[in-house]
């Protein structure tokens, strides 16, 4: 399918039910994720539009939810980055649909276990969100190819 110029709606991925430690701003994490998805889809030629959750959809739509957000331990990342519990983790589930008909389920998993002095949790989560966003967008593009 030729994707160049094709309009695509990117619905905000919900964060309902996600519990985050104090000091973790889900809005910043969601913004990093959505920006990564949008940039990856636009690189393939799609005309991406980030909309509100109730806005009308274009023919092609990507939507979903965050399923896991874990800040990990900065101390463990510094001392032993490969131990369980150290990495920052973002996990998402999504759906790509065409004309309201689901085409495929998508998923993305971003992990960041290394950073200067263990990496600050927000920076590591933002980076993990970008990784998850790129993975999810690439899956959507594979489906549409």
Query: Does residue 67 form part of some domain?
Result: yes
Q: What is the pLDDT of residues 31-55, one digit of tens each?
A: 999 999 999 999 999 999 888 777 7
Whether residue 117 is predicted with pLDDT greater than 60 in this model: the reply is: no
Residue 1 placed within a domain: no
Q: What is the secondary structure of 27-93 as a DSSP string?
A: HHHHHHHHHHHHHHHHHTT-EEEE--TTSPP-SEEEEEEEEEEE---HHHHHH-TTSTT-SEEEEEE
Q: What is the CATH number of the domain that holds 80?
A: 3.30.160
Rounded Cα distance, 129 and 88, in Å: 9
pLDDT digits (tens, 9 = 90+) for 2-36: 778 889 999 999 998 888 877 889 999 999 999 99
pLDDT of residue 4: 82
Identify the domain containing residue 95 by its residue range: 7-144
pLDDT at 126 over 90: yes
Model pTM score: 0.88
Asked whether residue 51 is domain-assigned, the answer is yes
Q: Which pLDDT does position 82 carry in this prediction? A: 65
Question: Does 93 map to a domain?
Answer: yes
Structural domains in the chain (count): 1
- pLDDT tens digits for 55-82? 766 689 999 999 999 888 777 766 766 6
In a domain, 110, yes or no: yes
Instruction: Flag whether 2 is in a domain.
Output: no
């Amino acid at each position: 399918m030729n994707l160049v110029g094709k309009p695509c709606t990117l619905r905000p991925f919900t964060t309902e039910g996600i519990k985050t430690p104090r000091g973790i701003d889900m809005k910043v994490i969601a913004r990093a994720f959505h920006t990564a998805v949008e940039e990856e889809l636009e690189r393939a030629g799609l005309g991406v539009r980030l909309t509100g959750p109730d806005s009308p959809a274009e023919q092609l739509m990507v939507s979903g939810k965050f399923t896991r957000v874990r800040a990990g331990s900065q101390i463990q990342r510094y001392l032993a980055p490969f131990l369980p519990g150290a990495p920052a983790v973002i996990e998402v589930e999504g759906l790509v649909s065409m004309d309201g008909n689901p085409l495929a389920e998508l998923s993305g998993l971003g992990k960041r276990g290394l950073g200067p002095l263990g990496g600050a949790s927000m920076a590591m989560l933002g980076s993990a969100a970008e990784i998850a966003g790129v993975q999810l967008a690439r899956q959507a593009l594979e489906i549409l190819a």
